[in-house]
Structure 1
Amino acid sequence: MSATAEPVVSLKLPTRWPQAGRVGWIGLAWLLCLPTLIPLMATLFGALQAEPDVLEHLTSVVLPRVAVNSFWLVLGVAAGSALLGTALAALVALTEFPGRRWFAWLLMLPLAMPAYVAAVALIGLFDYAGPIATVLRGWGLETWPEFRSRWGVTLTLILTLYPYVYLIARGAFASQGARALEAARALGMGPLRAFLRAALPMARPFIAAGTLLVAMETLADFGTVAAFNYDTFTSAIYKAWFAMFSIEAALAVAGFMLLGVLALIALETWSRRAQRFHQVGHRGPVSRAGLGRWRWAASAFCAGVLGLAFVVPMARLAWLAWPRLDTLGSRDLGIAGNSVLLALLAAALTVGVAMALSLLCRKAPGTATRSATRIATLGYGLPGALLAVGLYVPVTLMLNRLADWAGWQGVAQGGLGLLLVAYAVRFTAVAHAPVESAWLRIRPSLLESARGMGVSGWRLLRGVHLPLLRSGLLTAALLVVVDVMKEMPITLMTRPFGWDTLATRVFEFSNEGQWAEAALPSIAIVVVGLLPVLWLERRMQDAP
């Protein structure tokens, strides 16, 4: 594979497009990032404007507890996911053991299972009244630790989030780490020393990037901590809004949470500041180290992780759901239809925004459009609960002011429109990555050849650009559909009254301890979540 690439040139859009000038295109780019700026500014302003008694209650009662809980949860999940994901990636990429090729993609399956779905299954198994704890007490083990605790929620999140580190570290080990390991072994180092001195240091920036992503996902989690009744910033925002009926308190908690989110985003940006990526030599077969008598232990370790993270939860959900298949009715189908409809509408809106941002970066390249794109894709690092509060308050205020000015009555506050905007803010980064990647794969020489043959304007856009972008657009739509199907806090906090989805049904049942009733919608979410995992496996099937 050649390491050279043609220079990226700005896009020549059809001549019939309005010539609004460079300032107009930059203004449009900043208009697209406005929905991301609104919740950020509203959260900061709302936190600063909170009443003194509200702030006193939060700082003396709520924030110390949720801040400590959030800190230890993020630290535990990040450290556990880094260790587990790195160990599995090193085994699969650098060693040979029975079943390695199967485990290479099977270990990605927990990506399809949202953490709150795993919580439904694991709590039912390991809780005090669950079958495992009951059997252990029958054997005389009366000191079984309470699963609905910090260690239980930490373990559940590790088992569902380690694939973020595994995927990134596996690619690093397979491309650069294997070559470094071979060179270190040629210099006389033993297997363990060669790994610690050569392969691991080269993969460290990638492992750090995956770990920071895990930390951000942990801080943003809502459904899992709610199932375990473990208070964090996200659950505090929800309780302030729906239990205390205090928008001011919810904004204040969100403001403190935003500080932690921005710190993680700054840390992630700083960690990538000096990274450089190079393809050294040609890509060919890599010799993997044999494990000798430890090869079956490696297989057992991978099988144990896969079983606990995916097989056991899915088996538990299937066992709970099977007796209730005959209870499926039109209401359940309607809820599934709501989820699919929301996912498709959100995918169309989000992919459209991502496509527009990529177009504008080529129409008016420069710092201004790049900055607007960076802000517009910042929403993926913002927790759903924060976005829900930050968007709802200013939109509601604007609608109320507009209604007072126009003399309208019964103006709807929020609704599906607000819900879709919140989805777009949250998942624009998810759609932008494959769309931008597809743009970068279009060779400027191909466009020049088309223009040389007289193809220009809309014919060039329709006949050359869109066919080449189709794969990236479909990939972006697929990823957004799956993410929206799994998303819980935004849907729960901003959906219209009576508009249920699969995710909100899982929350309602698990919040009431009805684990069996939560099984069917949980399985449906996991089945949809398998789509991007299978797509990833297909894209990575040529990896060593």
Structure 2
Amino acid sequence: MVAAAFAAPFVYITLTSFAFSPEEFREIFNRYDLFTLLLNTFVLIVCVGLLSMTFGLFSAWFVTMYDFPLRKLFSVLLIFPLAFPAYVLAFSWTGFFGFSGIINKTLSPNSIFFLDIFRNLAGATLVLSFALYPYIYLIAKSAFATMGKRSLEVANIHGYSDFEAFFRIIIPQIKPWLISGLIIVWFETLADFGAVSILSVDTFTTAIYKAWYGYFKIEESLLLAFFLLIKVFILLWVLRLIEGNKYYTQTERQDTNIAQKKNLSPFYKSLVFIFLTSLCTLSFAIPSAQLFHWIFAADQLNLSDISQYTFNTFSLAVAGALCIVLLSLYLGFCNKFYKNKLSGAVGYLVKSGYAYPGSVLAVALFIPIINLSQNISSFTGVSLNMQSTVLPLFLGYIIRFSAVASAPVNGGYQRLKKSVLESAALLTDSVSSKLFRIVLPVLKPGIISAFILTFIDISKEMPLTLMTRPFGFDTLAVKIYGLTSEGEWERAALPAIIIVFLGFIPIAFSALLRRKNVHPRS
């Protein structure tokens, strides 16, 4: 059942797309200007990948390997942009650098001319890079922290400078980590809808929404979703070529992995400090300041409606995260104790689910659920209208974000000792009893991480929620899209701050938990 659920969107979209005639295809090509969509998507993928890699890789290297003022503070601040959805960064940047923003007011107090440098493809590239670089930063920082110090000693023996050692020795060693981070960045870029729509950049996600709600042509949205899926699989193929058939392992003992922080000259300390300060300022300090400015400048705020949107967002995120974590626990348990070809196939499908953009899942799930409801209603005589419930929404959440939860959960299963598994196998209790009595205590850190990551992703998710939510059931993300579409930036600021706050609390809790695990009490 799980395998069928995860494979169904791709199968349905593919079969539906082959039903179009060449004439219909040409008409759709001209109506949505597919060449522009392909070009914009390609530029975003390449540029966002390069910028996110640059920001995340160098910031992780600096805070891990060198000693400079406020290093520990920067190591925490660089995670904060994870709490900012890309669409929040987009409209806060637009307000800061837009017509009535502080930049234009300073350069042209009389509004004779103004700069509008971010409502374009370059602006979308910068916004997405600042929103997504923390994924690279966290993965690279973990790789650098666990990397053996012998690599640096060998580089020094051979006379390599730090710059040469970084590119010739360090980067090849952490290649698998970088590829996994790049996959996340690319998939998030493909799936983005809010930022590109606010910045007036046409991509496949905006075209799918236009076909659904603008032209009311759901079949055409399916074809656009099929083209987007093709790009996803091309990316997976390219990453496979980059990675190659290589395997990596760590050959030295864990206790030799602690490398001494290097001191920098005053000049290089200043450069590193300026780089990290600029990164933190642009990625969350300026957006936060702009949002609070709008909140205090707003004439009226309907707090009762905002509280309802907050409750809807929180309840969806908690319920969705619980469902996904429970599914990940059970699938990981089956794969660990009853491993076979089917469990391996399900694991692959779960991982590939993260590649589905939210807009693709919306069109792939909504129509089949309508057909299923109609068939059941005609057979039983009972009107179900499952498409008007949260069922499509929760199915989309499960397919899209199960990969996010499965990584820490499966990592916990991998840490189960052989003796624990043998003790569990000897028990005659049921599977659920084994799970609760033996396995769950060991998996507790992974479960907490999985819940936090899934909660953050669901609370920020926009296109899937926007396109499949029940009528009148608005969340903070949906309300932000509606207000920014009407140009009401000030009214959108409070929902944006709340959604950032909902993401910030789990991130802070996760950082404290990680610090406790790294530095346990003696």
TM-score, normalization by structure 2 = 0.91
SS at match of 1:516: helix
Residue 487 of structure 1 pairs with residue 461 of structure 2: yes
Q: Residue 148 of structure 1: CA displacement?
A: 0.4
Equivalent position to 1:298, from 266, 272, 282: 272
Q: Which is worse superposed, 40-49 or 174-183?
A: 174-183
Unaligned runs of 5+ in 2: none
Q: Residue 430 of structure 1: CA displacement?
A: 1.4
Aligned to 2:102: 131
Residue 280 of structure 1 pairs with residue 252 of structure 2: yes
Matches within 5 A, 1:436-475: 436-449=410-423, 456-457=429-430, 460-475=434-449
SS at match of 1:470: helix
Matches within 5 A, 1:107-186: 107-138=78-109, 142=113, 144-176=115-147, 178-186=149-157
Q: Residue 418 of structure 1: CA displacement?
A: 1.5
Equivalent position to 2:17, from 41, 44, 47: 47
Change (3 A) 1:341 1:375: same
Aligned to 1:80: 51
Q: Which is worse superposed, 114-123 or 264-273?
A: 264-273
Change (3 A) 1:84 1:140: same
Matches within 5 A, 1:210-289: 210-270=181-241, 271=243, 273-281=245-253, 282-289=255-262
Q: In 2, Cα distance between the equivalents of 1:177 and 1:89?
A: 16
Aligned to 2:373: 399
> Retained in 1: the 8 A contact 2:362–2:467?
yes
SS at match of 1:120: helix
Aligned to 1:335: 309
Q: In 2, Cα distance between the equivalents of 1:86 and 1:257?
A: 28
Q: Which is worse superposed, 149-158 or 168-177?
A: 168-177
Q: Residue 543 of structure 1: CA displacement?
A: 6.7
> Retained in 1: the 8 A contact 2:3–2:346?
yes
Change (3 A) 1:289 1:530: same
Change (3 A) 1:224 1:160: same
Aligned to 2:175: 204
> Retained in 2: the 8 A contact 1:94–1:178?
no
Residue 60 of structure 1 pairs with residue 30 of structure 2: yes
Q: Which is worse superposed, 33-42 or 260-269?
A: 260-269
Aligned residues: 513
Deviations 1:200-245 (A, max 9, x none): 3323343233223211110110111111121101010000000010
Q: In 1, Cα distance between the equivalents of 2:314 and 2:299?
A: 20
Q: Residue 57 of structure 1: CA displacement?
A: 2.0
Change (3 A) 1:325 1:142: closer
TM-score, normalization by structure 1 = 0.88
Q: In 2, Cα distance between the equivalents of 1:234 and 1:459?
A: 44
Q: Residue 126 of structure 1: CA displacement?
A: 0.9
Deviations 1:29-69 (A, max 9, x none): xx112222111111111211135544212223421111111
Aligned residues with identical type, % of pairs: 32
Q: Residue 264 of structure 1: CA displacement?
A: 1.8
Equivalent position to 2:66, from 95, 100, 124: 95
Q: In 2, Cα distance between the equivalents of 1:543 and 1:184?
A: 27
Unaligned runs of 5+ in 1: 1-30
Q: Residue 320 of structure 1: CA displacement?
A: 1.0
Q: In 1, Cα distance between the equivalents of 2:161 and 2:413?
A: 45
Change (3 A) 1:38 1:414: farther
Matches within 5 A, 1:294-333: 294-324=268-298, 327-333=301-307
SS at match of 1:518: helix
Residue 522 of structure 1 pairs with residue 496 of structure 2: yes
Equivalent AA in structure 2 for residue 129 of structure 1: S
Aligned to 1:411: 385
Equivalent position to 2:5, from 35, 38, 41: 35
Residue 344 of structure 1 pairs with residue 324 of structure 2: no
Q: In 2, Cα distance between the equivalents of 1:447 and 1:513?
A: 58
Which of structures 1 and 2 has the larger relative contact order (alpha carbons within 8 angstroms, sep 6+)? 1
Change (3 A) 1:56 1:387: same
4+ long deviations beyond 6 Å: none
